[in-house]
Amino acid sequence: MTTNPLLDFSDLPQFAAIQPSHVAEAVDTLIAQAKTALDTVTKADFPADWKKLSSTLDVQTEKLSRAWGAVGHLNAVADTPELRAAYNEKLAAVSEFYTALGSDERLFAKYKAIDSAALNAEQKKAHSNALRSFKLGGAELQGAAKERFAAIQTRLSELSQKFSENTLDSTEAFAYFAAEEELDGLPDDVKSTAKQLAEKDGKGGYKLTLKMPCYLPVMQYAKSSALREKLYMAHNTRASELFEGGKFDNTPIMREILALRQEESKLLGYTNFAQVSLVPKMANSPEEVVSFLRDLGKRAKPFAQKDVQEMREFAAKELGLSDPQAWDWPFIGEKLKEAKYSFSEQEVKQYFTAPKVLAGLFNIIQTLFEVDIQRDQAPVWNPKVEFYALMRGGQKIAQFYLDTPARDGKRGGAWMNDVHSRWLRPDTNQLQIPVAHLICNFADGVDGKPALLTHDDVITLFHEFGHGLHHMLTQVSERDVSGISGVEWDAVELPSQFMENFCWEWDVLKHMTAHVDTGAPLPRELFDKMLAAKNFQSGLQTIRQIEFALFDMLMHMEPDSTKAEPLEISRAVHKEVGVLPRPAQVRTPNSFGHVFSGGYAAGYYSYKWAELLSADAYAAFEEAATQSGQAAAAQIEVGRKYRKEVLEVGGSRSAAESFAAFRGRAPQLDALLRHSGMA
C-alpha cells in the first residue's frame, strides 16, 4: 500500500510526491483525528491546562494545517485542473472544521477556565489572542445564528477561491500574437521570451500576455499606442463582464462576498465589516483609518498633480501626444524619466542578474542579522525552486523555499507563506524550526543567460525576504505568537517594507550587481541617477495606494451591502482622490485579489500604515550612520537591536510595544514624507 505523502509529518512536505488523488484521503483522515482530539479536550474531566490542551488538540490541528497548507501552496504555484478539482472538493470541509473549531463554545469555556497567572508571557499573549478569536469566530453565538455564521464562513472560502481562479484564468486566457513591427521599442529580452512562447504554441510572431514580466514592459516601452491600448484594456477588464463575454466575471462573486461579510459583522454585534476587521489590528477604528488616508492624500495630491502636469507638457512637446489616454501614461512616464535622469529601467536591468542580486541580499542578511545562509535539500514542486537553511553558531535555525520565475499555472504577484512555525512542540518537547515559502514572479533567463531583474523586482525580492525574516528569525517558542503569527495585520508589513530601503544604498548595490555581458558592477554615475529618480512620481504612486486603500475601507464601512457596489465606490473614490482620467470600462475591483481573496479586506491601508513604521525604523539606521565615526559597526548594532526587539519577539507582544522598544518612542510621520520626497 502506498503511503500518502500528505500524512507524513516526519520532515518537510513531500512536494514532488503529492498527487491530487492524495488530497481527499489526507483531509478526511486529519479532520477526523482533529475532531477526536477536540472531543477529548472538551470533556468535563479534561483539565483546563494550557500545555495539555496544546499537546492534545493543537498537535492534531497543526497537522491538518500543514497538509492543507501544502495543497493550497501547490494550488497557487503549480495549478492543474486535477489539483484544482481536488482542492475545491475539500475546501468546504476544511473551512467548516476551522469555523466550528473557532466557535466551539465547549472549547471556549475551557480556554476561559485556564488560569492565565500560571502562563508565561508568550502563553499569556497567545491565550488573550485565542479568547479574542473565539469571540470573532462566533463562539458566543447560539442556535440558528451560530449555524448561519458557520455557513457564511464556508461560503466565503468558496467564493474567495473562485475569485482567485477567475482572476488567474482570465489572465491566462488572453494572448495576442503581435507582428515584429508592432514591438518597436520593446526590450530584446522581452521580445525573445515572446517569440519563444509563440513558437511553443506552434505559431508565428510574438506572444504577448497579461503576466507582469510581459505586460509592464509593453506598457512602458512599446511605441505603438494601439498595442498598449489592447493590453491595457484586456488587463483592466480581467474577470469582468467586459472580458471574454463575461466568462470569468467576478462581479456577482464580489457582491455576494460583501453581503456575507456584512451579515457576519451584524451577527457578531458590529455595524459593518470594517469594524470587525480592525479588532485585532493597531488602528482603533475605521474612521481613524479613513482620516489617516485622507490626510496623507491631501499632502500627496499636490505632488501628484505636479507629476501629471509635467507628463502632459513633456508628452505634447517631445512625444507629439496632445491628448494622452490611460494606456499612454506609463509610456510617457518612462520616457520622461529617461529624459530627466538620462537612464532607462532597461539599462539598469542589465546589471541586476538574479544570481548576483541573491548573493548580495544574502550578504546583507548574514551581516546584519548574524546568520549564515546555506543551500539545503528538500523535495520541490518545480526544478527552478531553490531551498536554503539559515544557520547560527553551527545550528540550523530556519529553512526556506525560493521560487522566483513566472510560469503557467502559477498565481501572479509575490508573497511569503509559512510551511510551519517555530514551536516548542508539547507532544515531543522538541523545538520545531520555522520554514517559509518565498514566492515571486520574475521573467526567466533567455538564450542561456541568467534572469534579469528590474530594480522594482529587486525591491519586491527584498520585501518578501523581510516577511520571511520576520517568520524565520523569531525566538518565540509558542506557535500562535511565533514569528509573523499574532502580529497585528497593519504592522505585518513593517519588516518587509523596512528591507526595501537597502535597495537604495550604494554600499549594498555595488556588491550585488554585475552586467549580464561584461560582469562590470553598476556604475556609480548610473546609481546616482537612479537615486535622483527615486521619488520620481512618488505623489502619483502614493495617491494610487491611497485610492486602493480608501476604496477598500469605505466599501467595508457601508452598513447596507446593497449600497456597497464595488464599481460605483471605486469610481467615487477615484473622483475624490485620483488625478489621472480613467476609462469607464476599467474594472479594477474585479481583479483586486488582496481584498476579495487575499486576506486584506478592510486592511489594505496597512501598506501605508506600515510604511510609516518602516520609514521611521530605517531612520534609526540612517541616524547611526551619520552620528557615528564607525558607521558600519553602528548600523550592525542597530540591526541587532531591531532583530531582538522586532523580529525575534514576533507576535508575543503588541507591535506598538515592539516599535517603542526599538525606537524609544512612538512612530512619527516625518521619515515617511522625507523618504517619499514629500517633506
What are the per-10-residue average pLDDT scores of the chain (679 residues)?
Answer: 87 97 98 98 96 97 98 97 97 95 95 96 97 96 96 96 96 97 95 96 97 96 97 98 97 97 97 96 94 92 96 97 97 95 90 96 94 98 98 97 95 94 96 98 90 96 98 97 94 93 92 95 95 92 96 95 91 96 97 94 93 91 76 83 96 95 89 81
- Give the end of a domain, one of 75, 98, 118: 118
Q: Number of folded domains in the chain?
A: 2
Q: Are residues 107 and 210 in the same domain?
A: no
Q: Could you give the CA distance from residue 588 to residue 584 in angstroms, rounded to a whole number?
A: 11
Q: Are residues 10 and 96 in the same domain?
A: yes
Q: Are residues 87 and 189 in the same domain?
A: no
CB 271 within 8 A of CB 513: no
Q: pTM for the whole thing?
A: 0.86
Angle, in degrees to the nearest 10, between helices 81-102 and 59-77: 150
CB 506 within 8 A of CB 640: no
Q: Could you give the CA distance from residue 236 to residue 245 in angstroms, rounded to a whole number?
A: 15
At 638, the amino acid letter reads: V
CB atoms within 10 A of CB 40: 13
User: 258 Cβ partners below 8 Å, 6+ apart?
Assistant: 273, 555, 556, 561, 564, 566
Q: Are residues 178 and 113 in the same domain?
A: no
Residue 113 sits in a domain of what CATH number?
1.20.1050
Residue 9 DSSP symbol? -
Start-end of H helices in 414-562: 455-472, 494-500, 506-509, 524-532, 538-557
DSSP state letters, 121-176: HHHHHHHHHHHHHHHHTTTT--HHHHHHHHHHHHHHHHHHHHHHHHHHHHHHH--E
CB atoms within 10 A of CB 360: 22
Name the β-bridge partners of 449.
Answer: none
Q: Which domain holds residue 107?
A: 5-118
Three-class secondary structure of residue 103 per DSSP: coil
Q: φ, ψ for residue 331 (rounded to 5)?
A: -65, -45
Q: Are residues 97 and 14 in the same domain?
A: yes
Place of cell 501552496: 73
Strands 415-420 and 435-442 come out as antiparallel
Identify whether 41 is part of a domain: yes
Identify whether 229 is part of a domain: yes
Element of type H or E holding 405: strand 395-405
Identify whether 84 is part of a domain: yes
Identify whether 410 is part of a domain: no
Cell numbers given for 390: 539559515
Q: Could you give the CA distance from residue 259 to residue 617 in angstroms, rounded to a whole number?
A: 39
CA distances to 162, 217, 239, 344, 582 from 564, rounded to whole Å, are 20, 35, 19, 42, 21
Q: Are residues 106 and 182 in the same domain?
A: no
Q: Could you give the CA distance from residue 619 to residue 617 in angstroms, rounded to a whole number?
A: 5
Q: Are residues 96 and 13 in the same domain?
A: yes
Q: Are residues 109 and 204 in the same domain?
A: no
- Give the end of a domain, one of 118, 138, 163: 118
CB 277 within 8 A of CB 554: no
- Give the end of a domain, one of 237, 255, 274: 237
The length of the chain in residues reads 679
Identify whether 365 is part of a domain: no
Active-site entry in 345, 464, 488, 500: 464
Residue 402 DSSP symbol? E
Q: Are residues 112 and 27 in the same domain?
A: yes
CA distances to 250, 325, 522, 546, 594 from 553, rounded to whole Å, are 19, 29, 42, 10, 13
CB 303 within 8 A of CB 541: no
Name the β-bridge partners of 438.
Answer: 402, 416
Q: Are residues 182 and 89 in the same domain?
A: no
Q: Strand runs (DSSP E) across 576-620, as ranges?
A: none
Residue 675 burial by CB count (10 A; 0-12/13-18/19+): exposed, middle or buried? buried
Angle, in degrees to the nearest 10, between helices 121-136 and 81-102: 100
Identify whether 114 is part of a domain: yes
Q: Is the dihedral of CA 132, 137, 142, 145 positive or negative?
A: positive
Q: Are residues 184 and 114 in the same domain?
A: no
Q: What is the pLDDT of residue 630?
A: 67
User: 548 Cβ partners below 8 Å, 6+ apart?
Assistant: 592, 594, 604
Identify whether 213 is part of a domain: yes
CA distances to 132, 470, 517, 575 from 351, rounded to whole Å, are 49, 29, 9, 40
Q: Strand runs (DSSP E) across 290-370, as ranges?
A: none
Q: Are residues 95 and 20 in the same domain?
A: yes
Q: Could you give the CA distance from residue 5 to residue 66 in angstroms, rounded to a whole number?
A: 12
Q: Is 500 a catalytic residue?
A: no
CB 447 within 8 A of CB 193: no
User: 668 Cβ partners below 8 Å, 6+ apart?
Assistant: 616
Identify whether 101 is part of a domain: yes
Cell numbers given for 297: 492624500
